[in-house]
């Protein structure tokens, strides 16, 4: 019995040690970034792996104050927020009608939405540029909303359509019998039930907008309208880079994603396991 306990204890220890090492390998790059962000440029160039002896917080201040960083940060935050709101509304409404109603070209409409997932984004760069140019839509505060919405919707519509299909139709019928309108059915019954997938849509659509690079690069010329993905890369020029400043800027730029993930983490976990076990 004692030997068995000892062996079990050793096994647990080894497993935990392996998992700990694995976790350390995942967290190491982040810790390295934090450490590097707290060094001066010279300190970093002398030895990039050494621990900082005198944390240099000025990098964070300089990064935020550097030309246009804050403006780009806010631009991305606004675009991300608008993208989230529009994607959630459009996806839930589209998903509801596609899953609940039979109408002509229903499959074609669904296919049109979902096909967006298989089209490589970069192949659309030039056509979208030409189209926006012709329509006079370049270089405007709202220029990027349409492309971002278009990139976020396919996945979101697929998710909502599949999820709403698992909600019993009897619920709708009961609501209608009680005199509920379609609008009320959507807002009071169906949408609240979709909260686990809504959380996933929120984080993916925000990340889509926050991380998007090529369209922001090509469709926007005005420095004051640039997004964070462009601002970050501006710290990195071909011949000269201040790495600590770059790391500080990167750390600041991942904050919104981190905060959104922390807010919705429980819902996301729920969303991921939805449908996994049916009883």
Partner 1 sequence: MRKRTQILSVVLAAAMVGGMLAGCSGTEKDAKESGAGGDSSKTTLTIMHMGTDEAIKNGDIESIMMDKAVDNFKSKYPDVELVEEIVSQEAGYETKLKTLAAANELPDLIMALPSMMGSFYENGQIQDLTPVLEANQEWADTFADGMFGDYTFGDHILGVPRCSIVNHVIYYNKDIFAKCGMDSFPANEQEFKEAVKTLKENGYIPLATGNKGKYAIASQVMPGILMKFNSNEWYEDVKNYNGASFEDESSVEAITYLKELMDLGLFNEDVNSLDPVQVRQMYYDGKAAMYIEGSWSVSNLINEASQEILDNTEITVFPPVKGKEELKGQIVGGQGWGISLREGLADDQQEAAVNFLKEMSAPEIQTLLIEGGSLATAKEVDYDESKLDPLFVKFLDMYNSYDKIVGCPEVQLSTAYMDASYVGYQEMSIGSLTPEELAAKLQEAHESAKKQ
Q: Are 189 and 171 in contact (CB under 8 A)?
A: yes
Over the window 61 to 100, marking each residue x when it contacts partner 1 by CB under 8 A and - when it does not, the resulting string is -----xx---------------------------------
When the beta carbons of 13 and 32 are compared against partner 1, the nearer one is 32
E strands, the chain, where?
A: none
> Distance from CA of residue 100 to its chain's centroid?
28
User: For the packed helices 106-115 and 69-100, what is the interaxial angle rounded to 10 degrees?
Assistant: 150
Alpha-carbon distance of 247 to 277, in angstroms, equals 42
Report CA torsion sign: 138, 142, 145, 146: negative
Residues 6+ apart with CB under 8 A from 70: 64
- Phi, psi angle pair for 235, to nearest 5°: -70, -20
Whole-Å CA distances, 210 to 134, 149, 220, 266 = 26, 12, 15, 22
Task: Determine which residue in the list 17, 45, 64, 111 makes contact with partner 1, applying CB under 8 A.
Answer: 45
| 233 near partner 1 (CB under 8 A) | yes
Task: Determine which residue in the list 5, 42, 53, 102 makes contact with partner 1, applying CB under 8 A.
Answer: 42
Over the window 182 to 221, marking each residue x when it contacts partner 1 by CB under 8 A and - when it does not, the resulting string is -------------------------------xx--xx--x
When the beta carbons of 116 and 214 are compared against partner 1, the nearer one is 214
- Max Cα distance, the chain (Å): 80
| 235 near partner 1 (CB under 8 A) | yes
Task: Determine which residue in the list 97, 110, 129, 261 makes contact with partner 1, applying CB under 8 A.
Answer: 129
Binding piece for partner 1, criterion CB under 8 A, among 149-157, 161-169, 198-206, 227-235:
227-235
Alpha-carbon distance of 208 to 18, in angstroms, equals 34
Residues 132-161 within binding reach of partner 1 (CB under 8 A): 133, 135-143
When the beta carbons of 122 and 262 are compared against partner 1, the nearer one is 122
Collapsing DSSP to helix, strand or coil, 236 comes out as strand
| 58 near partner 1 (CB under 8 A) | no
| Number of residues engaging partner 1 in binding (CB under 8 A) | 42
Where do contacts with partner 1 occur on this chain (CB under 8 A)?
41-42, 45-48, 66-67, 125-126, 129-130, 133, 135-143, 213-214, 217-218, 221-223, 230, 233-243, 245
């Amino acid at each position: 019995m004692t030997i068995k306990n000892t062996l079990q204890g050793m096994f647990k220890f080894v497993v935990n040690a392996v998992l700990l090492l694995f976790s350390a390998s995942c967290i190491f790059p982040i810790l390295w970034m934090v450490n590097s962000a707290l060094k001066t440029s010279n300190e970093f160039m002398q030895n990039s792996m050494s621990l900082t002896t005198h944390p240099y917080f000025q990098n964070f201040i300089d990064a935020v104050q550097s030309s246009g960083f804050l403006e780009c940060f806010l631009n991305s935050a606004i675009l991300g927020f608008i993208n989230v709101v529009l994607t959630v509304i459009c996806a839930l409404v589209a998903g509801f009608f596609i899953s609940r109603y039979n109408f002509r070209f229903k499959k074609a409409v669904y296919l049109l939405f979902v096909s967006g997932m298989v089209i490589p984004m970069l192949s659309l760069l030039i056509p979208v540029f030409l189209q926006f140019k012709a329509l006079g839509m370049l270089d405007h505060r709202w220029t990027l909303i349409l492309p971002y919405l278009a990139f976020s919707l396919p996945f979101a519509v697929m998710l909502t359509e599949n999820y709403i299909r698992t909600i019993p139709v009897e619920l709708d019928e009961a609501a209608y019998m009680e005199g509920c309108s379609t609008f009320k059915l959507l807002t009071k019954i169906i949408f609240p039930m979709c909260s686990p997938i809504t959380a996933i849509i929120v984080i993916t659509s925000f990340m889509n907008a926050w991380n998007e690079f090529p369209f922001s690069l090509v469709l926007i010329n005005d420095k004051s309208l640039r997004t964070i993905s462009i601002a970050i890369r501006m710290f990195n020029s071909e011949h000269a880079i201040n790495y600590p400043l770059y790391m500080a800027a990167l750390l600041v730029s991942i904050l919104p994603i981190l905060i959104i993930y922390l807010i919705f983490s429980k819902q996301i976990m729920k969303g991921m396991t939805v449908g996994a076990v049916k009883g």
